[in-house]
Structure 1
């Protein structure tokens, strides 16, 4: 008997677990599988609604009593580099960018392990082995690229797993040489992805989540042209210092209401 995937994706909620960004709070995610012939269209649609991809899953924070995590992107046309960012670009002028198909290599994994051991030894990815790393890179049902940066000795210095959307590029995960802090790799790769999007005629660079007040996320707020997905729409952020984390216990809509308000490709949203 022939079976086909359901016309509409099914959404699920993860069990609560300690929040990695705000002490004393619990995080929860709303997620759905990314599979089948509609994977590309679904990824494009949900990325515009604050979702992120992790392998074949799309997820969005859906905490019971907090809405501090904001999906962030840069409007390429509005971006203007600061003096510090221009200096970062000059410091990395020796790097060569190379975009390849999503295929994991031993060189990438060695850099990944070096990065984790130095920066995130107690993080959730600390125990990833080479097979799990390969899955993270290669298990993508959509158009993805591995963007590698090599120095003038052809040594691998930084890597970013990047998705290509119909309206931009999404920086899924990046890692780099931790002993070259002077390069400011995190900032540089965002700057270069802005250039990648500009070269491709794409309007946005998706950065993942930004939590106002979180030191781990602070670097994302230093880019002009920043927009966040808040209250079901993208909003410009003229001054990140004025954005406060929304931790009110009534800040999050019920799950059923959240799902009902999600716009799906080829499916009209339910009328209220």
Structure 2
């Protein structure tokens, strides 16, 4: 089993940046042949790494530091009025937690989400092979949290990895036809409450990019901590607005 002292890291050639167009990015990733246990994965997450499929990576751009890791200290989290309204709107939702899988119901929801919300992204058009390699194939303790309304309709799926100090929110996809529910925000609120019941301290939200409009929702969760120069610090309004 690998640890940080024995891990090998590799650097990609420059490639198109997923967040800032038309910039190029460079990515540092962990040896995909290494066996990564939960403590090591937790430490990597604390250092700003993320997981996609079986690859664990971190931006490694020489002149750009726009991708900033963010996490919520759940015990200190303050629910805003708007978030309270969103929680109330979704009080009928029940959540089932399962092992990662791709069935027709989950696939249809994912396909609708990517096709309606992310036609400008590198995951469009969606394919089942892409879904498998991104979300089902995993070398970590991954779970799918299925959000259903009172009639049993699948509205959202939140994909998380278990860490030593909380969970990493890998990805969330949801129905693009229920905007009034604000399902993306509600999925985060549910994960915060989930962690509180387990007495685990952090929800890792992945990267926040100030210039990326689709990531502005992350700054609505307060307090928010961000990773600057390998140190987690409280995000102030001057930093994030």
TM-score tier, shorter chain, comes to: over 0.9
Residue aligning to 1:85: 83
Distance across 2 between alignment mates of 1:141 and 1:35: 11
Residue aligning to 2:239: 243
Q: Is the CA contact (8 Å cut-off) linking 2:161 and 2:168 kept in structure 1?
A: yes
What displacement does 1:10 show?
A: 1.4
Residue aligning to 2:45: 47
C-alpha distance 103-90 of structure 1, shift in aligned 2 (>3 A)? same
What displacement does 1:24 show?
A: 4.0
TM-score, normalised to structure 2, is 0.93
The CA RMSD measured in Å over matched residues stands at 2.0
| Paired residue total | 240
What displacement does 1:158 show?
A: 0.2
2:15 pairs with 1:30: no
Picking from 188, 192, 209, the partner of 1:194 is: 192
Q: Is the CA contact (8 Å cut-off) linking 1:74 and 1:226 kept in structure 2?
A: yes
Q: Secondary structure at the match of 2:108?
A: helix
C-alpha distance 213-243 of structure 1, shift in aligned 2 (>3 A)? farther
The 5 A counterparts of 1:149-164 are 149-164=147-162
C-alpha distance 179-139 of structure 1, shift in aligned 2 (>3 A)? same
Deviations 1:10-59 (A, max 9, x none): 11112222323333422221111355554323211100111001111111
Distance across 1 between alignment mates of 2:66 and 2:133: 30
Q: Is the CA contact (8 Å cut-off) linking 1:213 and 1:244 kept in structure 2?
A: no
TM-score, normalised to structure 1, is 0.83
Distance across 1 between alignment mates of 2:219 and 2:110: 25
- Higher Rg of the two aligned structures: 1
Residue aligning to 1:169: 167
C-alpha distance 100-19 of structure 1, shift in aligned 2 (>3 A)? same
Unaligned runs of 5+ in 1: 246-272
Picking from 55, 58, 61, the partner of 1:57 is: 55
C-alpha distance 98-35 of structure 1, shift in aligned 2 (>3 A)? farther
Deviations 1:153-185 (A, max 9, x none): 101100011101010111101100001111111
Residue aligning to 2:121: 123
Segment drifting more, 29-38 vs 85-94: 29-38
The 5 A counterparts of 1:191-270 are 191-239=189-237, 242-243=238-239
Q: Secondary structure at the match of 1:229?
A: strand
Q: Is the CA contact (8 Å cut-off) linking 2:2 and 2:37 kept in structure 1?
A: no
Segment drifting more, 123-132 vs 55-64: 123-132
Unaligned runs of 5+ in 2: none
